[in-house]
Structure 1
Amino acid sequence: MALLVEMGWGGLVQYPDTITWTDISQYVSTARGINISRGAADELSETQPGTATLSLDNQDGRFTPGNSASPYYPFVRRNAPIRIAVAHIPTRSGAAPYPLAQLGDDFDDGRVDQALWPNSYGGVVEQGGVVRIPVSTAADAGLQSVRQWTLKGSRLTAKLVTVPKAGGSSNAAASMWVNSTTAGTRIGWRYDALTGVLAAMNQTAYFDGTPTSFTYSPIDHAWLRVRESAGTVYWETSADGFGWTVRRTLAAPAWVGSQTHAVEFPATRTGGTSDFIEWDLVGAIIKPRFWGMVNEFPIEWEGLSSRVTVTCTDLFKRLNRLPVLRSMAAEEVLASGPTAFYPLTEPSDSTSAGDLSGIGAGSLTIQQAGTGGTLAMAAAPGPPASEDQVPLFTPSSATAGKWLQADMGDSVKQWLTTGRPVFECWFQTTTGGRAIMGLASPDLQYVHVLSLSGGGQLQIEWTTTGETLSITPIPFTPGLADGNWHHVVFGQYSNFLFLDGALAMTGVPVTYGSDQRTLHIGGYRGTRLWSGSIAYVALYGVTQAAEARLAGHYKAGATGYAGESAAARIQRLARYAGVDSVTIIGDTFDPIASQAPGGTQVVARMREVESTESAKLYAERDYYGLAFQSRDLRYNPDPQSEVFTVTYADLEPGTSISDDDQKMVNSLQASRPGGATQRVTAPSSVAAFGLYEPQPLDILKTNDNSVLDAAYWVVSRYANPEPELREVAIEAYTMPNYLDILDADISSYFTVYGLPSQAPAPSMRVTVEGYTETIRERSHVIQFHTSASFKDSVWVLGDPVYSRLDSTTRLAY
């Protein structure tokens, strides 16, 4: 086992695909160990932010913030990305020839292992926890094994740490090969330092006429692998050694299945300046344990020695410090990347309205035409589901009153000119013949106005010559001056117009404008002044048709996406938080009620969904992403789905069985927004133990029956909890199924066999709710927080085990 601790110096956790990782494993104190906590204490508790604590050797000051002499300066700072993994190094077993998957070396002992690499040449050395191969003008060099390996049904893996530079050479290359018995016939990877190209090759006579080649990326191609399976050879790359991308496949050459192979990492250079290539962790199997950010780098001293003990938190740290969300109507716009966005939700004493896009558009200010009329901020209710207050325009006439105007600035003009403008807004009125919004160039050559005709029909007024505005009516949109809120998206890229989420017209005959930076809202140049309300005005500069996606914002303001599945809701909320990766696990997700109003943080809203679904939400441990598990993932645990098994004799001290009332619930009151308040009880449990009723369950179901189902599910599981194992501690490193144990995560199953005779049963199957682990040199202790798997047994008609309702099972929810 080797530790793999990497820092993403200068990277941002919210942009994981742009992080270049630096291995700092050699500075981690394995004596003090790494402590990691993940998940929940039990199945009734929320999963907590994952944490990791580790101690770093800071003798040379490399982990001192602000130290300009640090090789990581100036990026030793709070919130630096970190990831932690265990690298399992395989060992040989049995007799030669060995499968290539048993070739493993972490290069950590400072000397080339002559038993593994007896044929190395050209000055290969181990230093700093890697193997360094000269790419020299003096002589070729290479790390080379004895011929005792086979690729068939196996694999060769290595981490590519440092690539050579061109250095003025006419030829400079380094490779990773599986060699046949014929010179020049080989399979592997080749890096060309002159072109920066990485090639997946199947060479014969040192030549491959059709390699798969691509520009090398230190992020995406940090790991290389060649493997054979069922007659096919795969060339694969990985950013972390855990998740792999296939780059090339080929029917395995005959020699792959008939010969014994040697492995070689050669390097060569002709002319120029000598340097080196570095490899690490040959054959390693990577098991991620933590992905997050460092909270701080506190320096401490022990005599003259300096250490930095850092505490790290997973992505929930960032999510928990995000500001409260606005209404869904506003968040949908923000998540779509507007060029300018004026929600118009300022308080009543405001005299202007601002842009929230982040591009820097100028603010809207109140303009006066003629005399009289009012424009009152926060004076009218916004779109139905939003609960926002928005402006009320009350002109004295079409030409006397107030409207809003902004010079949005040069940056916005450039965005809208490079792309093509898309208008989006909500409007409400009972008066036709008025202008909703207008966009114009300063010289008025390019003008586009969105307005209503006298009969309340939507229309586009426009010019690209500075002449009188042409009017393009939008068919099938009459009667919009009906006092109801309406949503419109008009895009000048594809000339589509959407009304209330539906396509109203394709190919609107309007020519797009450029150099437009002046925005009018509630009228245009002091005429056709709006009577009613306008909200959530957004402009986009798009280079591809995006109008259909924007049209989906209608549901945000109209219904708050009430009725969408809980899985879709979690993905939507994650998008508001800037998290693109959400792994949905399981199949049972109920429709969920609206969460349209603003005022709460994104994590709080996610937890509402989690509670409503009896689901599990947590951060991934191998990537910047979330996982959301449905409750059905745990239904009727199948022995085949067990991650591992363990005997009581192999457990660490402290294992005990609990039988208390900590989890007991025999009465529960439940309700939903706008629905009935209902109560479920278990009379026999109440009679035997007294009343155990927790806080009422207030969940986001869309009908009363679903609320009742949710309440019954809780009471049926916890009316009379049976004895259970809640803590299981394992020294995993010494176990033959070590890698299987490392695969266990939240909601995994395993069984403990051979319990003492005093136990309620000789074996108990448990579900993982979370764990704490301590990783040291040749030690990896994992304390699993567990619950009894039988609680999740659900009724199945005719099944010999699961058909006894209220005996071994309960109705599925």
Structure 2
Amino acid sequence: MPVLVEMGWGGLVQYPWSITWTDITDRVDQVQGVTITRGASDELSETQPGTATLTLDNQDGSLTPGNPNSPFYPYVRKNAPIRVSIAHYPARTGAAPYPVAMLTDEFDDQRMTATLWTSAGGATETAEGRLRLPATAGVTARYTSLRQWTLAGSQVAVKLVAVPAAGGSSSAYTSLSLVSSTSGTRLRWYFNAVTRDLRAVSDVGGSDGAAVILPYDPIGHAWLRIRETAGTVVWETSSDGWDWVIRRSLSTPAWIGTDQILVELAASRTGGTSDYAEWDYLGAQVRPRFWGMVNEFPVEWEGLTSSVSISATDLFKRLNRLPPLRSMLGMEVLTVDTLTGAYSFPAAYFPLSEPSDSTSAGDVIGRGAGALAVSQTGVGGTLTFGDVGVPETDETAPTFTPASATAGPYLIGDLGPQTAADSTTWLVHLQVWIKTSTAGRAILGMHDTRLDNQLILSLNGSGVLQVETTQDGAALTVGTTTSGNLANGQWHHIVFDGSSKIAYVDGAPVSGTLLATSSQDLQTVYVGGYRNARLFNGQIAHVSMHLANGPVGSVYAASYGAITGFSGESADWRVERLARYAGLPSVTLLGSTHDPIASQGPGGSGVVARLREVEATESGRLYAERDYYGLAYQSRDLRFNPDIVGEVFALAYADLEPGLELADDDQKLVNEIEASRPGGATQTLSAPESILAFGTYPQQLNILKLTDVAVTDAAYWKVLRYANPEPEIREVPIEAYTLPEYLSILDADISSYFTVYDLPAQALATEMRVTVEGYTETIRENSHVITFRTSTSSQDSVWVIGDPVYGVLGITSRLAY
């Protein structure tokens, strides 16, 4: 059974590292199979959300949503995490001794394979397709292989499905052992049920004084492997059988090169309550195919039978549901804490972007902070919401216009008891944007209910930033910075780091003696003045309070770049920034050509739309990972010159399924482009010879380049590639399961290359190299049909001076962009 289907019952896709996966492969309808679609239709189309469809047996009702008798209740629900993999078992070939990687067993036929194993202690194979080893007092249950295997240059991998409990015993364990012909000499993965640890062991004489001991993690240690390579033995663990972490390594013991080993899976205990260990997928070579979320669990009945035909979608489903982004400035406030390296979080954030008829301003964090209400002291003055705010944002900002320093409106609010309590434990950090021409005023301030602890940001009479504090109810201590005059009518970003006692202005630290080290029970907050005095005259925006256990101000200070929309940062940085806004834990960046990106303007669009803008600007490729909840982004140079980069596999035409076609049409033809950028020129570029031959095929290109020259380069790149597209193979159907190249075929992903050779005599060449744009695959019992959607690789050939293949400009290659 090549397919491995697992459900993350109760798991949250945004926290993939915490998901406990349940194997439901035995429920999969192998006749209908699992169908997965991934990638794009061609290189000019955007990649689409990946999907998977499969039918599951529901005879016992376990997959009926809301069924309280289901062992998975109440987690049979929409958006449940799902992953699909291939568990490939290499064939045993040649004569003994065999590489131990050829020792494979799915344990799914409910009987021991006598040509592989001997057994003892009641070891059995279960109806669910696992090896069960009873952990019974005084009895060692084991599956022991024949002594006909070698570890040198090979490996053994297995899934540890269930471990025994201590059960009142002084000793209980389960283990995987590779046993030398010398008594007491072996390599082991050993789980100790009493101490709940996992040990990487190299025994000599029955013991190992240098064993590596890991606290057992049933998620991270689900798969175990021992591998020898180039003179080193490594012990590895994995959560999915694909992505391995080295836990121990040592120089290969001499016996590895000489001894034939036996492999043993065992479990036992000295006393206490009996239970068992379970192992599975011995020798499986795992290849991930899909990672996503189930859309629904529609229960179907036919007579007395029941099934569930589910569909699932990769992470783009979740990304497409996210609300429109705030401005980059706002998103930085909400997400930058993930970059600090400390434990930090926003406790309150007041964008102050309410419409003009507002009389209060709200918090968007939701930790209990109340609204900031307009408060009047003295007579006169105005406070107007809805005025133009910080550049490159769509948020407005209020304008404070007091009649004097002691007469006019300002804002006051309650941060709430939770934030007050947290400020006792964590250090306070502040961010705020200001614009004023009046010195000697307070920007914002906070205090506890007794005024023992106070913290105020203000400008002195020269417009220089001050930090005023007290922690014992005594007079305020004033720390003056070297910020220079901030009352100059320009927007300024101010950060106060309560840990390092450093202030940052417009992205840079400013020196000064700032005495605040902690501020307890801060609950009342003022914006635009402090306690009926020093009323601010100007604009204040994006007030936020963060709590952290260390210095984080330098990270917050980098948010100053939002005033230009981070214009000029490279495309890879922009992709990582946008992924952070979406709450993604990781982005895989591939390739090395990442040009500067212009500002994407204020908020209002979704994160996927923003990512697509970068992708289109850079002629890159954006898609969801198939083994993890993460994004991958490829720069255009990843595809340059496939002869230099290399290919994943090559197949003869005779090994393909029927349906190979050669296309030569005008589907991709582009010979005139009107190109532009925000704030730049509109330019038209064309290929006259193509227009003469085929007529005009126009296209508009509006991209986020910084210069008109960069726009020209991007437009020329497209015209040179598609003024006269070459004949190409657009689909390659393969029955992969039966081919020796099976694993290599599974390794092919978006932008991989492969060659079809020994083409029929009517073809224009004996072989053609293609680039993978996407694929649809159907996995059944002993069958795996993959139809790759492809483009011709030569479209991405670029000029290399003196190269025998790519050194002929305009014929075999074109200028790189």
- TM-score band w.r.t. shorter chain: over 0.9
Residue identity matched to 1:518 = T
SS of residue in 1 equivalent to 2:198: strand
Q: Where does 1:87-166 land on structure 2 (aligned, <5 Å)?
A: 87-137=87-137, 139-166=139-166
Q: CA deviation at 1:119?
A: 4.4
Alignment equivalent of 2:690, drawn from 682, 685, 690: 685
Pair 1:51–1:507, CA change in 2 (3 A): farther
Normalised TM-score (structure 2): 0.98
2:340: which partner in 1? Answer: none
Deviations 1:623-682 (A, max 9, x none): 011100000011111266110001111111111010000000000111000000011100
Pair 1:511–1:230, CA change in 2 (3 A): closer
The question of 1:526 aligning with 2:529 is answered no
2:341: which partner in 1? Answer: none
SS of residue in 1 equivalent to 2:118: coil
SS of residue in 2 equivalent to 1:638: helix
1:536: which partner in 2? Answer: 542
Alignment equivalent of 2:377, drawn from 354, 369, 375: 369
Deviations 1:516-537 (A, max 9, x none): 1111100001111111111111
The question of 1:456 aligning with 2:468 is answered no
Q: Give, in whole Å, the separation in 1 of the partners of 2:813 and 2:282.
A: 49
The question of 1:712 aligning with 2:710 is answered no
Q: Give, in whole Å, the separation in 1 of the partners of 2:253 and 2:129.
A: 35
Q: CA deviation at 1:564?
A: 0.3
2:701: which partner in 1? Answer: 697
Alignment equivalent of 1:547, drawn from 549, 553, 574: 553
Q: Give, in whole Å, the separation in 1 of the partners of 2:112 and 2:628.
A: 33
Q: Give, in whole Å, the separation in 2 of the partners of 1:760 and 1:411.
A: 73
Q: Give, in whole Å, the separation in 2 of the partners of 1:668 and 1:38.
A: 30
Alignment equivalent of 1:573, drawn from 578, 581, 588: 578
Q: CA deviation at 1:120?
A: 4.4
1:807: which partner in 2? Answer: 811
1:168: which partner in 2? Answer: 168
2:342: which partner in 1? Answer: none
Residue identity matched to 2:754 = F
Q: CA deviation at 1:124?
A: 3.0
Alignment equivalent of 2:631, drawn from 626, 631, 636: 626
The question of 1:505 aligning with 2:511 is answered yes
1:784: which partner in 2? Answer: 788
Question: Where does structure 1 lack aligned partners over 5 or more consecutive residues?
Answer: none
Deviations 1:164-208 (A, max 9, x none): 111111111111000011222110111011110100001123211
- Greater Cα shift, 495-504 or 791-800: 791-800
Normalised TM-score (structure 1): 0.98
Q: CA deviation at 1:360?
A: 2.6
Residue identity matched to 2:15 = Y
Deviations 1:549-608 (A, max 9, x none): 11111111x211100000000000000000021010000011000124110000000000
SS of residue in 1 equivalent to 2:642: coil
SS of residue in 1 equivalent to 2:638: helix
Deviations 1:345-376 (A, max 9, x none): 11112221111123231111111111111111
Q: Give, in whole Å, the separation in 1 of the partners of 2:622 and 2:328.
A: 21
Q: Give, in whole Å, the separation in 2 of the partners of 1:295 and 1:234.
A: 40
The question of 1:386 aligning with 2:393 is answered yes
- Greater Cα shift, 341-350 or 503-512: 503-512
Residue identity matched to 1:563 = G
SS of residue in 2 equivalent to 1:553: helix
SS of residue in 2 equivalent to 1:118: strand
Q: How many residues align?
A: 809
The question of 1:409 aligning with 2:422 is answered no
The percentage of aligned residue pairs carrying the same residue is 57
1:234: which partner in 2? Answer: 234
Please tell me whether the aligned partners of residues 416 and 540 of structure 1 are also in contact (alpha carbons under 8 angstroms): no
Residue identity matched to 1:427 = I
Q: Where does 1:265-344 land on structure 2 (aligned, <5 Å)?
A: 265-335=265-335, 336=337, 337-344=345-352
Residue identity matched to 2:604 = G
Pair 1:800–1:91, CA change in 2 (3 A): closer
Q: CA deviation at 1:752?
A: 0.5
Please tell me whether the aligned partners of residues 755 and 762 of structure 1 are also in contact (alpha carbons under 8 angstroms): yes
Q: CA deviation at 1:812?
A: 0.4
1:359: which partner in 2? Answer: 367
1:419: which partner in 2? Answer: 426
Q: Where does 1:434-449 land on structure 2 (aligned, <5 Å)?
A: 434-449=441-456
Q: Give, in whole Å, the separation in 2 of the partners of 1:386 and 1:555.
A: 12
Q: CA deviation at 1:138?
A: 5.3
SS of residue in 2 equivalent to 1:597: coil
- Greater Cα shift, 133-142 or 795-804: 795-804
1:750: which partner in 2? Answer: 754
Q: Give, in whole Å, the separation in 2 of the partners of 1:743 and 1:639.
A: 19
Residue identity matched to 1:509 = L
- Greater Cα shift, 116-125 or 189-198: 116-125
Residue identity matched to 1:288 = P
Q: CA deviation at 1:47?
A: 0.3
Q: Give, in whole Å, the separation in 1 of the partners of 2:536 and 2:638.
A: 54
Q: Give, in whole Å, the separation in 1 of the partners of 2:776 and 2:495.
A: 51
1:224: which partner in 2? Answer: 224
Q: Give, in whole Å, the separation in 2 of the partners of 1:400 and 1:72.
A: 64
Q: CA deviation at 1:803?
A: 2.2
Please tell me whether the aligned partners of residues 122 and 139 of structure 1 are also in contact (alpha carbons under 8 angstroms): no
2:46: which partner in 1? Answer: 46
Please tell me whether the aligned partners of residues 417 and 541 of structure 1 are also in contact (alpha carbons under 8 angstroms): no
The question of 1:642 aligning with 2:647 is answered yes
Moved over 6 A (4+): none
Q: Give, in whole Å, the separation in 2 of the partners of 1:303 and 1:119.
A: 42
Please tell me whether the aligned partners of residues 479 and 513 of structure 2 are also in contact (alpha carbons under 8 angstroms): no
Q: CA deviation at 1:470?
A: 2.1
- Greater Cα shift, 119-128 or 152-161: 119-128
2:76: which partner in 1? Answer: 76
- Greater Cα shift, 353-362 or 115-124: 115-124
Q: Give, in whole Å, the separation in 2 of the partners of 1:88 and 1:511.
A: 58
The question of 1:493 aligning with 2:504 is answered no
Residue identity matched to 1:504 = V
Question: Where does structure 2 lack aligned partners over 5 or more consecutive residues?
Answer: 338-344
Q: Give, in whole Å, the separation in 2 of the partners of 1:607 and 1:584.
A: 15
SS of residue in 2 equivalent to 1:443: coil
Residue identity matched to 1:612 = T
Pair 1:511–1:731, CA change in 2 (3 A): closer
Q: Give, in whole Å, the separation in 1 of the partners of 2:105 and 2:354.
A: 62
Q: CA RMSD in A?
A: 1.1
Please tell me whether the aligned partners of residues 119 and 146 of structure 1 are also in contact (alpha carbons under 8 angstroms): no
The question of 1:767 aligning with 2:774 is answered no
Q: Give, in whole Å, the separation in 2 of the partners of 1:798 and 1:201.
A: 54
Q: CA deviation at 1:478?
A: 2.2
Q: Give, in whole Å, the separation in 1 of the partners of 2:171 and 2:395.
A: 66
Deviations 1:42-101 (A, max 9, x none): 000000000000100000011111001001001100000000000001221111111111
2:438: which partner in 1? Answer: 431
Q: CA deviation at 1:799?
A: 2.0
Please tell me whether the aligned partners of residues 480 and 512 of structure 2 are also in contact (alpha carbons under 8 angstroms): no
Please tell me whether the aligned partners of residues 441 and 518 of structure 1 are also in contact (alpha carbons under 8 angstroms): yes
2:677: which partner in 1? Answer: 672
SS of residue in 2 equivalent to 1:338: strand
SS of residue in 1 equivalent to 2:26: helix
Q: CA deviation at 1:506?
A: 6.2
Q: Give, in whole Å, the separation in 1 of the partners of 2:357 and 2:293.
A: 41
- Greater Cα shift, 637-646 or 403-412: 637-646
Please tell me whether the aligned partners of residues 646 and 752 of structure 1 are also in contact (alpha carbons under 8 angstroms): yes
Alignment equivalent of 1:734, drawn from 731, 734, 738: 738
Pair 1:144–1:561, CA change in 2 (3 A): same
Q: Give, in whole Å, the separation in 2 of the partners of 1:282 and 1:264.
A: 11
Alignment equivalent of 1:396, drawn from 399, 403, 408: 403
Q: Give, in whole Å, the separation in 2 of the partners of 1:120 and 1:667.
A: 76
Q: Give, in whole Å, the separation in 1 of the partners of 2:512 and 2:105.
A: 62
Please tell me whether the aligned partners of residues 374 and 401 of structure 1 are also in contact (alpha carbons under 8 angstroms): yes
- Greater Cα shift, 181-190 or 655-664: 181-190
